Each structure stands twice: as C-alpha cells, then as structure tokens.
Structure 1
Amino acid sequence: MKSWSIRSRLTLWYTIVLSLGLVLLSCTVWTALHQILYNELSQTLTNQTQGLEEYIRIEDEENPSTLAHEIDEFARSLPARHVLVVAKNNGAVIYQSGERTGD
C-alpha cells in the first residue's frame, strides 16, 4: 500500500483544520447575532408596550368612551402583520386588532 506524500497529508490536514475553524467561527457569529437580535427585539417590544400602557392610562382617565378608537389609531401605526390585543387586569379584552396583510 502506497503511503500519501507529505504534500497530500499537509493539504488534507490544513483543509480539515481550516474547515473546523470556519465552522466554529460561523457558529460563534450566528449565536452572538441571534442573542443580540433577540435582546434588541425584546427591548423594543417592552418599550412599545410601556409606551402604549402609559398612553392608555392617560386616555382612559381623560375620556374612556373613545379609548377603543384611540387604541385602534395606535394599532394602525404599527407595521403590517402586527396584531394588538389590549385587555384589562381581569382579562377582559378591550381591543383586538385584526391581522393586516400590508401597508
């Protein structure tokens, strides 16, 4: 049986090491980006929810009869395919938007 030349063995070894390095780097970058984007999305949703909660609190005190209309206006300002459900502490739904298909 003929043994491989040093050139072939080094080429194979470098190919394996480079491939493993690229896979490791790719996994690290993917994990980091996933974590960063998830945290950013979570923070954005939290901020929007707090803003809407404050807005509802103010509108509810001023004129509770137009609250559903005001929430509908807010829901229409959201990007397409966002669904908004607003409920009281007891779970009673105050407002529920329908799913929109485009702006």
Structure 2
Amino acid sequence: MFRKFVSVALFVSFLAMSTSGLMMFVIEKPSFTIQMHPVHKLFGIIMILAVICHLTYNYKPILKYVQNRSVALFGGVLVCVLVLLYGVVINNEVPAEIAIPMDNLAAEAEGHE
C-alpha cells in the first residue's frame, strides 16, 4: 500500500515541478518566479522524498539497468552535464549591488520580513 502512495506522490510532485518550472521558464519575470516559488519548493521536497522511497524499492532493477553499457554512458553524460552546469551557475555570481536588493524584495514578497 505504501508503494502506491509513493507512486502517486512521485507523479503529482512531478506534475507540480514540471508545470511550475515550465511556467517560470516561459514567463521570465522575477515577480512570477517569486509567486511560483512556494509551490516549486514544497513539491520539490515531496519529490525528493518520493524519489528516495522509489529508489529504495527499486534498487536492484536500477542496478541492472546501469550494467548496460549504453545506459551507463547516458547516465554518465547526464551527470557530467549537471556538474558542468552547476559549475557555470556557481561561477556566474550576481553582483552584490543587484543581488542584495533583489533578495530583500523577494523576502518581502514572500512575507519573510
């Protein structure tokens, strides 16, 4: 029964993350991103928990998948792209004179001040 809840949580969180992410991608306004942030953040956490449960239940089949050379290569390429993009993003810092006011406005908009 728990597996069914995990599957539904994974599906709904995928829908929430993908639709909110796509909307933020298409509607490129920081104000809209701040509006969508609570949805995206909450369902991101739910998705992480559901994925951990899913991986726990499906550990052995996943290990068999990556024994295939082309699947392992594909996974390796995706990991390299992820690491590369993280490196680019981390080294592309927003200047403090822009970032600080932006962070303050975002906190105010989200009601954290």
For the aligned pair, the TM-score class normalised by the smaller chain equals 0.3 to 0.5
Normalising by structure 2, we get a TM-score of 0.31
Decide which structure has greater strand share: 1
More helix by share: 2
TM-score under structure 1 normalisation?
0.33
* Structure showing greater relative contact order (alpha-carbon pairs closer than 8 Å, 6 or more residues apart): 2
- Which of 1 and 2 has greater Rg? 1
